[in-house]
Amino acid sequence: MNQQAKFPPRQLKKLNRKLNSSNKSLTSKTEHLTKAFAEIRRLNKSLEEQIKNKSLELNIAMKELNTVYTVSREVISTLDVQEVFSLIAKTVCAIINTKACILRMIDRDKKCMTIVSSHGISAKYIDNTPLKIGEGLSGIVATTGKPIACPQVTKEESVKYSYYINGEGYQSALGVPIVFNNEILGTIVTYDNSMRNYTKVEVMLLSTFASQIAVAIKNAQLHTKVHLNYLDTVNALALAMEARDPYTHGHAERVTAYAIEIARVESLSKKQVQLIQNCGKLHDVGKIAIADSILRKPGPLTENERSLIQLHPVKGVQMLAPLKFLEQGFPLIQYHHERFDGEGYPQGLKKTDTPVIARIFACADAFDAMTSDRPYRSKLTCKQAVIELEKNAGTQFDPYLVKKFISILQRKNIKLK
């Protein structure tokens, strides 16, 4: 016998409808969950990519920061102001991967921004782009104390000389202030030859570098100020020493001028010429330690007195030893009485063993001494002095430099014949 249905047909239909509706809802929710899971997988993948990229960016930033600190230490260890400025300009381009850089310092007396160093910029740009404080990109950065990034300099009102920058071949710029103890010293502005959106990391790197080199600039400025004060004192002593003896008045200035002319003819570097400029004036400063009775003695010196006189180059170097920025010029002071044949003092150096700046100075010093009055003799004419130089070329003096010096004197229309 057939078993009777538990539910009547009408109720079964109703249950089927509900079941179909539930199935559709479940299918819809399953599809929604599938899409949600797919979106989650996509987001996870995107997040993983972002984390990977951020990690790479952080690693690059860390490496760049390490470079910044390494270079900053090198800059900070340099005490020559101009060398510090030059290092900064070159280093900025390496750190930010740009093509040019200008370093301006604030001159509060003149109320302007002075270019102290540049890299990748022509002299024409430097000569034609003066800025007042608050004017142009550098001036605004110096006033606000905040970095400014210009993706396209020709569209930025803050860039005063955009046409000059464009003429240099640069299209974008990034400027940051140089700040020391809340005092804005100047600005760094770096340029690139393409339109460029500078990243937060790049702005941070350049700002970090600027804060580091602010210490280096202050140190170098203080060091230079101290040394220049010391140099002024020594120069005053040298002048006082010349004042003791009217026969040597102006001698150091004249000899230095002769030596500089020889150095330029010989194409010595600007730094060597500057060393001659500074140390030449001080070449006899050691004579401060020599008694007047010996320096101004009208007759021949005794052996003992001559020995004391011959100590003055060494004493001069000892006096100037604290001036480390003149250190490379000390050979001029110490060896300007050496002879080409090795019979000079204080070390008896021969020929080119004596540094070239000292050999140059020996010629100039002897010429001026011969053409000046002394307590023990009257001065020689320029012609007589030249004859003496030629006579002693190869023994007392470098023969090559004697010829060069005589040619200079001839060009100056000095009567030598």
- Flag whether 151 is in a domain: yes
Give residue 387's pLDDT: 93
138 and 263 share a domain?
no
pLDDT at residue 127 tops 80 = yes
100 and 199 share a domain?
yes
Start-to-end CA span in the chain (Å): 157
- Flag whether 362 is in a domain: yes
268 and 384 share a domain?
yes
Give residue 66's pLDDT: 59
- Flag whether 68 is in a domain: no
User: Which of 19-28, 206-215, 220-229, 354-363 is the most confident on average?
Assistant: 354-363
The answer to whether the CB of 265 falls within 8 A of the CB of 296 is no
- Flag whether 395 is in a domain: yes
Q: How far apart are alpha carbons 264 and 358 in whole angstroms?
A: 15
Largest CA distance in the chain: 162
How many degrees, rounded to 5, is the angle at CA 75 between CA 69 and CA 81? 150
- Flag whether 93 is in a domain: yes
Q: How far apart are alpha carbons 208 and 200 in whole angstroms?
A: 12
100, 99, 198: which is closest to 151 by C-alpha? 198
Mean pLDDT lowest among 46-60, 64-78, 154-168: 64-78
Q: How far apart are alpha carbons 109 and 54 in whole angstroms?
A: 46
SS3 307: helix
253 and 215 share a domain?
no
299 and 390 share a domain?
yes
pLDDT tens digits for 58-71?
Answer: 555 555 555 555 55
- Flag whether 188 is in a domain: yes
Percentage of residues in the chain having pLDDT higher than 90: 37
pLDDT at residue 52 tops 70 = no
300 and 174 share a domain?
no
Q: How far apart are alpha carbons 378 and 374 in whole angstroms?
A: 6
pLDDT at residue 405 tops 90 = yes
325 and 274 share a domain?
yes
- Flag whether 63 is in a domain: no
Give residue 57's pLDDT: 58
pLDDT at residue 180 tops 70 = yes
Question: What residues form DSSP beta bridges with 178?
Answer: 186
- Flag whether 17 is in a domain: no
Q: How far apart are alpha carbons 114 and 193 in whole angstroms?
A: 24
Sign of the Cα torsion 392, 398, 402, 405 reads: negative
pLDDT at residue 391 tops 50 = yes
362, 354, 417: which is closest to 392 by C-alpha? 362
Count of the separate structural domains present in the chain:
2
SS3 187: strand
pLDDT at residue 33 tops 80 = no
400 and 282 share a domain?
yes
pLDDT tens digits for 214-226?
Answer: 887 887 777 777 7
Q: What is the mean pLDDT of residues 295-321?
A: 88
pLDDT at residue 76 tops 60 = no
98 and 147 share a domain?
yes
188 and 296 share a domain?
no
pLDDT tens digits for 201-214?
Answer: 889 888 988 888 88
pLDDT at residue 1 tops 50 = no
Q: What range defines the domain where residue 200 resides?
A: 76-220
Mean pLDDT lowest among 49-53, 121-125, 278-282, 352-356: 49-53
271 and 310 share a domain?
yes
204, containing H or E segment: helix 200-244
- pLDDT tier, 297 (very low <50, low <70, confident <90, very high otherwise): confident
How many degrees, rounded to 5, is the angle at CA 168 between CA 167 and CA 171? 85
202 and 100 share a domain?
yes
The answer to whether the CB of 262 falls within 8 A of the CB of 363 is yes
- pLDDT tier, 109 (very low <50, low <70, confident <90, very high otherwise): confident
- pLDDT tier, 91 (very low <50, low <70, confident <90, very high otherwise): confident
- Residue 172 CA, chain-centre distance (Å), reads 24
pLDDT at residue 377 tops 70 = yes
Q: What is the CATH number of the domain that holds 299?
A: 1.10.3210.10
Q: What is the CATH number of the domain that holds 146?
A: 3.30.450.40
Mean pLDDT lowest among 253-267, 282-296, 397-411: 282-296
Going by their DSSP bridges, the two strands 131-132 and 112-119 should be labelled as antiparallel
Give residue 288's pLDDT: 83
Give residue 161's pLDDT: 83
